[in-house]
Structure 1
Amino acid sequence: MMYLDALTELVPWFHALDHTHYARWIPVHLKDMAELTTKHPDVARKFREGHFTVQKTQRVFSSIPIDQAHEQNNACIKGDGGAVGLTDNPSALVAGWLRDQKLPG
Structure 2
Amino acid sequence: MSLRAFRTITLVGSMALIASAAMAANDARLSNGKSMYGTPVDARTAIKEVNVATTGAVNVSCGDVVAFRNADKTFAWKFDVIGHRDVDLQSIAPAGFANKPLRIHVATNDMERN
TM-score, normalised by the number of residues in structure 1: 0.22
In terms of fraction of residues, the more strand-rich structure is: 2
Q: Does 1 or 2 have the higher relative contact order (CA < 8 Å, sep 6+)? A: 2
| Larger radius of gyration between Structure 1 and Structure 2 | 1
Structure number with the higher helix fraction is 1
